[in-house]
A and B are shown apart, each in its own frame.
Chain A
Amino acid sequence: MFEQQWLAIYRETVRPLYGYMSRRTGGDRALTEDIVQETYLRALGRWDPKALPQTPLAWLKLVARNILIDHLRQRKRGPASVWTSDPPAGPEPGKDDCGSSDLFLAVTSLDRKKAGLLEEFYYDGMSVREIAEKRGLSEKAVEGLLRRARQALKARLPDQGPVGGQHA
């Protein structure tokens, strides 16, 4: 029974989780697959068989995001990494242009509110309206918050040109 429940959750969440992670890895397929696999294996070890999480996708996304951040930080410090021995040479052809790992790391280094806003807008492809509805804010307020988040992000990045206001 538990196994069936578990596999049902897997089938329901694997694609959204993969998409969520793929946007953040810059389309690196190998890295995305490694992180997704690791995320599910962690879930397997941590989820209580008698009380599976109410929102498993949220749990999975959070864990996957943390794994990715750890991995990128480790890769930045040195070559040692659990999964990929070498950083990807570049985005795969036809990838969704989500930016480099440096950019993602810079985003995650911002405060939680700004980072969440930028991720929703640039990585998850949500519109200003969708974000405003989700957060209970006006679209104008969201635009203002996005502007300030972009400025904060720009300050964290080396001089790479303007951070655009369009979806990535």
Chain B
Amino acid sequence: MPKTLEPDMEFVERLEWQLASELRRSRLKRSAPRIAVPRAAVAAALLAGILLAGVAAIKAAELVQDSWRKKIEIARAETEVRLQEARLETERGQAALVHERYAVGLVSEGDDLLATTTQERSRLGLERSRLDLDEVRRSGAPPRDELYAPLVGGRDFVSERLQLERRGAELGLKVLEARAKQLEERQRLGLIAPGQARSAGSDIAARRTRIAEIGQRLDLRKRFLAAALSAVRVEIAGRLATAQANLAVARSKVEDLKERKARAETRRDLGVASPAEFEELADALGAAEAELKLAALEVGILEKVK
């Protein structure tokens, strides 16, 4: 046989040794004793597996749910935007009509101002609903108004909403001031009783209190974002600002109602006012006093936990 057709003895022996080793290894593998695992451990492992699978399934379901929740929230916010757009369109038409009538002297300046302000309010409402939609699209959750709410995509929606709220309140103030002016004019002409003009002044004060409260809230929000206040502190301070504003408004309302009640009492005694009018004012005063007590109580509690 030619030399090349014969393997080297070294190769044959080395391969035999390798095969024998492999055979021994596979035999040991086949006959390796099984490690005894306690049934409890097997059960625990199975349970852990099932739980993990369950957690994974719940997580997946949550993701689906979150996706649906987000879609629902966006749909809701989009609907609100459409409604506000429709409302603004109507108010715009109405304001134009009132303005035409005012131009020809059919309606008063106050009516014209009211129509214009209402239109402005609708515009603010539309801005607010668009703001909410932006936030929902970014966060996938309903808009948050808490002073300690985090920024959403680097945007401070809370402050933006507060600013819109302040603009709305300022618009209201403008209307109240115009009405007060009108009442003062009527009073000067002797067309109305003096108390009515004072009542308008009370409403203006209350509105200014509200505007100041919004300013306080904006300042608190700013301090929270600058990390000068903790979430707890800013929440308490925000509530306190609202409670103090409520207290001031309630106090003003009580004072106003007391005065009106006294006038009504005099008029009733003179027989120019009906007892029903007096009773109505007495009831309103009772409710306002209750509100005042409640507001004072709230302020007291918040002052303590501050």
CB-based contact B23/A18 at 8 Å: no
Cβ of B26 within 8 Å of any chain A Cβ, yes or no, is: yes
Cβ of B20 within 8 Å of any chain A Cβ, yes or no, is: yes
User: Knowing A3-B24, A7-B20 touch, does A22 contact B5 (C-beta < 8 A)?
Assistant: yes
| Nearest chain B residue, comparing its CB with the CB of A14 | B12
Of the residues A6, A22, A33, contact of B23 by C-beta under 8 Å: A6
| Nearest chain B residue, comparing its CB with the CB of A6 | B23
> What does the 1/0 interface line of A68-96 toward B look like (CB < 8 Å)?
00000000000000000000000010111
Query: Contacts of A96 on B, CB cut-off 8 Å?
Result: 2, 4-5
CB-based contact A6/B19 at 8 Å: yes
Of the residues A7, A18, A23, contact of B7 by C-beta under 8 Å: A18
Query: Contacts of B19 on A, CB cut-off 8 Å?
Result: 6-7, 10, 40-41, 44
Query: Contacts of A10 on B, CB cut-off 8 Å?
Result: 15-16, 19
Q: How far is the CB of B239 from chain A (nearest CB, A)?
A: 75
| Nearest chain B residue, comparing its CB with the CB of A95 | B4
CB-based contact B4/A94 at 8 Å: yes
Of the residues B5, B15, B24, B26, contact of A36 by C-beta under 8 Å: B15
User: Knowing A11-B16, A40-B15 touch, does A23 contact B23 (C-beta < 8 A)?
Assistant: no
> What does the 1/0 interface line of B96-131 toward A look like (CB < 8 Å)?
000000000000000000000000000000000000
Q: How far is the CB of B29 from chain A (nearest CB, A)?
A: 12
Q: How far is the CB of A42 from chain B (nearest CB, A)?
A: 11
| Nearest chain B residue, comparing its CB with the CB of A17 | B7
Q: How far is the CB of A120 from chain B (nearest CB, A)?
A: 16
Give the B interface residue count (CB, 8 A): 20
Give the A interface residue count (CB, 8 A): 25
CB-based contact A18/B22 at 8 Å: no
CB-based contact B24/A33 at 8 Å: no
Cβ of A116 within 8 Å of any chain B Cβ, yes or no, is: no
Within 8 A of B (CB), among A25-40: 27, 29, 32-33, 36-37, 40
CB-based contact B2/A94 at 8 Å: yes
CB-based contact A22/B22 at 8 Å: no
CB-based contact B5/A19 at 8 Å: yes
Cβ of B3 within 8 Å of any chain A Cβ, yes or no, is: yes
CB-based contact B23/A3 at 8 Å: yes
Cβ of A156 within 8 Å of any chain B Cβ, yes or no, is: no
Contact surface of B with A, Cβ cutoff 8 Å: 1-8, 11-12, 15-16, 18-20, 22-24, 26-27
Contact surface of A with B, Cβ cutoff 8 Å: 2-3, 6-7, 10-11, 14-15, 18-19, 22-23, 27, 29, 32-33, 36-37, 40-41, 44, 92, 94-96
Closest 6 A/B residue pairs (Cβ): A19-B5, A18-B7, A27-B4, A96-B2, A3-B23, A95-B4
